[in-house]
Structure 1
Amino acid sequence: MTNLAIVCVDDEISVLKSLEIELEKAFGDTYLYEFAESADEALELLQELEENNIETRMIISDWLMPGMKGDEFLTQVHRQYPHIATVLLTGQAAEAVIQTTQQNANLYEYLPKPWSKHKFLATVQSALTQS
């Protein structure tokens, strides 16, 4: 079993399922794929992964979610886990939000929804290579 994880965060289960399918097809069992429907759930998940000696390599997060928004979540993640590559995948965020997230959370990439499969997988591969 691998000790490397990719975490996806989105309040839409259909989006999480699509991400799971694309990631598993592209990377197989190289990574453990974990999913959360909110930022708070994802923060708990990150702590559990760390406690189990599983290194989270990347987080792919939506912006517009109930409770904590994606920019605030990714900023908090960056403070606690600066080694994790972060990608914001959303159709809702304004340019100012994206720029602030780039500065405060060391955002690796912003991808708009609906996403291009090719651009998505190229971004994930590139981020994983650099992290």
Structure 2
Amino acid sequence: MSESAILCVDDEVVILDSLKEQLKRKFGDRFIYEVAESADEAWEVIEELQQDEIQVIAIVSDWLMPGIKGDEFLIQIHQRFPQLITVMLTGQADEEAIERAKKQANLHACLHKPWTEQELTQIITSALD
């Protein structure tokens, strides 16, 4: 059983399914793959994983979500878990939001929709190295 998890956050289930499938194909059983349809749900998943002593090592979060923008969410994540790898997924984030996430959330990368499986797995691989 893996002790590390990758969490994907997006309000579109089809996006979450794609991310999870692509990560599984590349990394297999190295990680647990969790998904959340909102920032609130993501916090719940993180709490549950912590209770099970599973460390979230990376979060791939959409930028445009109901309730909170991805850059704000990733900044909150970084404040609480500074070692966590953050990746923002976006079809329409403005450059200011990306810059803010780089400065305040230690954003590892910004992945633009539509992405390729190779882009996704290269970003996660480089972050883990």
Q: TM-score normalised by the shorter chain: which range applies? A: over 0.9
Is 1:71 matched with 2:103? Answer: no
Unaligned 5+ runs, structure 2: none
User: C-alpha distance in 1, partners of 2:87/2:2?
Assistant: 22
Matched with 2:106 is: 106
Q: TM-score normalized by structure 2?
A: 0.97
Sequence identity, in percent? 50
Matched with 1:25 is: 25
Matched with 1:43 is: 43
User: C-alpha distance in 1, partners of 2:128/2:41?
Assistant: 23
How many residue pairs are counted as aligned between the two chains?
A: 129
Matched with 2:13 is: 13
Name the SS for the 2:86 alignment partner.
strand
CA-CA distance at 1:128 after TM superposition:
1.8
User: C-alpha distance in 2, partners of 1:43/1:84?
Assistant: 14
Q: What amino acid maps onto 1:83 in structure 2?
A: Q
CA-CA distance at 1:30 after TM superposition:
0.6
Unaligned 5+ runs, structure 1: none
Is 1:97 matched with 2:97? Answer: yes
The Cα RMSD (Å) is 0.7
Q: What amino acid maps onto 1:73 in structure 2?
A: F
CA contact (8 A) 1:40 1:68 kept: no
User: C-alpha distance in 1, partners of 2:42/2:128?
Assistant: 19
Matched with 2:59 is: 59
More divergent stretch after superposition (94-103 vs 43-52) = 43-52
Q: TM-score normalized by structure 1?
A: 0.96
CA-CA distance at 1:118 after TM superposition:
1.3
CA-CA distance at 1:52 after TM superposition:
1.2
CA-CA distance at 1:4 after TM superposition:
0.5
Superposed structure 1 runs of 4+ greater than 4 Å apart: none
